[in-house]
A and B are shown apart, each in its own frame.
Chain A
Amino acid sequence: MTVFNQHLLSFAIWLPMLAGVMVLLLGSDQAPNRTRWVALVGAVISFLVTIPLYTGFQLEIGTFQFQESMSWIPAFNIHYHLGVDGFSVPLILLTSFTTVLVVVAAWEVITKSIAQYMAAFLIMSGLMIGVFSALDGILYYVFWEAMLIPMFLVIGIWGGPNRVYATVKFFLYTLLGSLLMLVAFIYLYHQTGSFALTDYYDLPIPMNAQIWIFIAFFMAFAVKIPMWPVHTWLPDAHVEAPTGGSVVLAAIALKLGGYSFLRFAMPIAPDAAHYFSNVMITLSLIAVVYIAFVALVQKDMKKLIAYSSISHMGFVTLGFFMFSQLGLEGAVVQMISHGFISTAMFLCVGVLYDRMHSRQIADYGGVVNTMPMFAAFAVLFAMANSGLPGTSGFVGEFMVILAAVKFNFWVGFLAATTLIFGAAYTLWMTKRVFYGEVANAHVAELKDINPREFSILAVLAILVIGFGVYPEPITALLQATSAEFLTHMETSKLPISNIPAVGI
């Protein structure tokens, strides 16, 4: 057990990947049930090993916990260094939990190359947990980039008609940003002689270098989040991806970008982060307001949810760059909550798509008459997506809006408009799909959700309402870490002689 306790993070990373390899070896299309069960057992075990990260987490410590470090590539002073703080623990749990849902959601839906599908998600889960826990630049970069490969295959093999365009666009967009980040790491390596994140935190960097580093990281992370105007890959990728792919993209992959701002861009270049804060807030508000309008006119349900994701992620970056504890914690809560809600929304679309093979809003109408149970869930998640109090969607948005009003009234005002616009596009879609008369013969033939679908949606509904009423389990994790983070952010990293010259 001591081995297990000392290498908790390694287990969390490598178990799902091992499970993925096992699925590839044991599974096949000839034995679909064996494949599914192996995948499910692997996913559940992988989820269970992440739970001690939450139960064993020491709330009062704001720095890294569960650390593991060993030399990996001594030639470049690269270490296999893992560790988590309050920002990463909830995201790791979200990742391993979502993987279980994805495996269950694919149960009867995926019939082509089942083993490869399941393995791709299990391996991706391990890689994403790696991103959330790596404390070495190259280790982080390897996980970050390697994650693209399974996602590329998932969209390309099991996606919709325009999948090749979407997946190549996704890959190249992300790669472009990431390579610039690699250049930033190379710069930092030659300054410190190591890739250790903690060395980077302590390194004084002149202002112009900080600005370039911030821009390089920004290119990598803004694409991933995605922020306006580099968001255009996301609607394409979401629409073409299979349900599981959309879920992982929305629930976790977008959070990789948000998390990385907290872990890399901001603490390594805090002065540049302050310098660019107005730009970042402006971009976030554009995402919140403008993208909400774009979502309003979408005809495709998945596209609408994709734009809604961009709009919600605008809150996350907005919360980061106001440099207040409330905003920061609200942003992280928003990331977790959006993980649940977007998962639920995409699964709902998946439920409809599996039956009707259409995602067009116009093809539906009056679904509530034929699928009452499903409609109840879908309406609940739509409410959560529009930020109804009592759901987890409200908590994060409200914290960020409060922080924004304190920061600047007009910023707060614009951010708060999302409560109107978000409700408008989500509820309008709900109205057109679920209510009214039964639109056509296909809708009339729809069958309500089966026990498998019911159980997934029920678990998510419990979480959405649970965290909406009692968000303490998440916020408690964040307090020490965000206080530590803000203290770090307020300390200038400029070399001493530079401070008067730049005036910060």
Chain B
Amino acid sequence: MDILSALPEITVLCMAMFILIVDLFIKPQNRFVIYGLAQFTLFAAAVFTFQSHTPAVGYLFSNMFVDDTLADVLKLMTYLGTSMMLVYTRQYMQLRNMFRGEYYAMVLFSMLGMMIMISGQNMLTIYMGLELLSLCLYSLVAFDRDNPRASEAAMKYFVLGALASGMLLYGMSMIYGMTGSLNITEIANAISELNAHNPVLIMGLVFVVAGLAFKFGAVPFQMWVPDVYQGAPTSITLLIGSVPKFAAFAITLRLLAQGLYPLAADWQDMLLIMALLSISIGNLSAIAQTNLKRMLAYSTISHIGFLLFGLMSANLNGFASSMFYISAYVLMTLAGFGMILLLSRQGFEADKLDDLKGLNQRSPWAAFMMMITMFSMAGIPPTIGFYAKFTVLQAAWQAGFTWPVVVAVLLAVIGAFYYLRIVKLMYFDDSIDHTPIKAPVDMQLVLSMNALALLLLGMLPQVLMNVCGLSVVTSLQ
């Protein structure tokens, strides 16, 4: 396998450093060049990823790094999500004096972290990617450094995040101790030969699952999610809430579905408890929120619960459906936070629920897009959110989780309530705020396509389902 498989990572790394240097020599009014460079980097990475794609699974750097269909697809989705996020956040950052080169370099570095996680075939690679991502995110949360709320959020995120990384590392060390390897495939082979009820191995598994759950924001490791979502600048919340979930999903698959697959019976139970808790606590807490970002944070927690339903099925059907779920989730999150960014303006964060009042009168199109997003999050057909829930629930049913599926379905009704409230605010109430909505054309265009994609993929979900099924099958078999 030649080094070209890692060309996207190399490109992103070089370009991020190049942006840092260029930024020193560029006048502030020409900073859009940096933005262009960042978008170009994503495009180039996408081209390289696409070109280097082969159906075969390739290993690189002494089996530390894997290049398979799953990695390629997830990376392409990550580029797309990051690119959309950069479009949505440009005006927001400009108006708040945060339109700086560091922002773009940092985003690219965090994305590099995600790419390494996605391609990690060794626990060390995975951990390195995760830390690169996390460190960038910590500092991005504090990017608006004079904002005390953001600093508080960054501090909380850092302390709890470091704890979670510690737990993950601790679990990895136990697994290494029992299996004598850090390589995912070798771990799986070693565990199959060991006694399944090896207490140290189980302890290691518990810590790994806890670390992963923390990164996802699943209950009972969800405490950081609402505070960070609310405290961070909306553009960073958009980043944290969207694309890193692809990377988290990838390492969960590599660790649980590949490396620790022989222990599936043990982690299935853990995921089941976390899934049910996440859906119930996420949905119930979301009802009480008045801050839109905080509400979406709790909504994320409940979505992660549904995602875990797919993962805990522990079969290819379940993994493919959770990949479908995460793709749908990222698209919905991008649209949801994109709308908050669209409504924000200088000195005004549209992050209260009441800021959405009467949106239908101010801009019927914006209200319509937000409505699609909300119904999609609630899982009402004909949106993609319905198929996302449907696929994970049928996978869990197939795996024998009959009652959890019924409970999850009932909890989804509670979830529908707070999404409906957003629709109510936009359509049934009169607006307090009559400021016209001003946004760059490219943002309006991309956001519209994003929301319409939720509807279109809801009517024709087959292509995305095939892509997810294919990547999971070729990479895990």
Contacts and interface: CB of A to CB of B under 8 A. Distances in A.
Nearest to B368: A24
Contact of A168 (B364, B406, B424): B424
A148 B419 CA distance: 14
24 contacts: A73-B461, A74-B462, A75-B462, A75-B466, A76-B465, A138-B390, A142-B381, A142-B386, A146-B380, A149-B380, A152-B420, A163-B428, A167-B424, A168-B417, A171-B420, A172-B420, A175-B380, A179-B409, A179-B410, A180-B409, A182-B393, A186-B397, A186-B405, A187-B397
B420 A168 contact: yes
A24 to B, nearest CB: 8
A410 interface: no
A395 B360 CA distance: 46
A189 interface: yes
A142 B465 CA distance: 17
A476 interface: no
A182 B380 contact: no
Contact-size category for A: 20 to 34
Nearest to B468: A75
A75 B386 CA distance: 15
Interface string B257-296: 0000000000000000000000000000000000000000
B394 interface: yes
B8 interface: no
Contact of A183 (B364, B409, B462): B409
Given A149-B380, A152-B423, A171-B416, A73 B462 contact: yes
B397 A179 contact: no
B375 interface: yes
B413 A176 contact: yes
Interface of A: 72-76, 113, 116, 138, 141-142, 145-146, 148-149, 152-153, 156-157, 163-164, 167-168, 171-172, 175-176, 179-180, 182-183, 186-187, 189-190
A182 B417 contact: no
Contacts of B390: 138, 182, 186
Interface in B357-379: 360, 364, 375
Contact of A157 (B397, B416, B427, B469): B427
A186 B394 CA distance: 6
B126 interface: no
A226 B410 CA distance: 20
B428 A179 contact: no
B413 A175 contact: yes
Given A141-B381, A186-B394, A186-B405, A75 B420 contact: no
Given A146-B380, A175-B413, A183-B406, A75 B428 contact: no
Contacts of A156: 423-424, 427-428
Interface string B377-417: 00011100010001101100110000001100110110011
Contacts of A142: 381-382, 386
Contacts of B469: 75
Nearest to B414: A172
Nearest to B416: A175
Contacts of A163: 428
Nearest to A112: B361
A148 B381 CA distance: 10
Contact of B416 (A153, A172, A180): A172
A182 B409 contact: yes
Nearest to A216: B406
Top 9 A-B residue pairs of the complex, sorted by shortest distance between their CB atoms = A142-B381, A179-B409, A75-B465, A156-B428, A186-B394, A176-B413, A145-B381, A186-B397, A73-B462
A148 B380 contact: yes
B27 to A, nearest CB: 44
B115 to A, nearest CB: 28
Nearest to B464: A75
Interface in B141-156: none
A116 B364 CA distance: 10
A271 to B, nearest CB: 21
Contacts of B427: 153, 156-157
A145 B412 contact: no
Nearest to B380: A145
A28 B407 CA distance: 44
A171 B412 CA distance: 13
A186 B313 CA distance: 15
B462 A190 contact: no
B325 to A, nearest CB: 14
A164 B462 contact: no
A190 B394 contact: yes
B150 to A, nearest CB: 35
A277 B423 CA distance: 40
A73 B465 contact: yes
A184 B390 CA distance: 12
B394 A72 contact: no
Contacts of B398: 190
Nearest to A158: B428
Contacts of A187: 397
B322 to A, nearest CB: 14
A168 B419 CA distance: 11
A187 B421 CA distance: 32
Interface string B417-445: 10011011001100000000000000000
A116 B427 CA distance: 11
A183 B413 CA distance: 14
A320 B251 CA distance: 54
B396 to A, nearest CB: 9
Contacts of B364: 116
Nearest to A159: B428
B386 A145 contact: yes
A138 B393 CA distance: 14
A180 B406 CA distance: 7
Given A179-B412, A182-B390, A190-B394, A172 B382 contact: no
A146 B380 CA distance: 7
A300 to B, nearest CB: 22
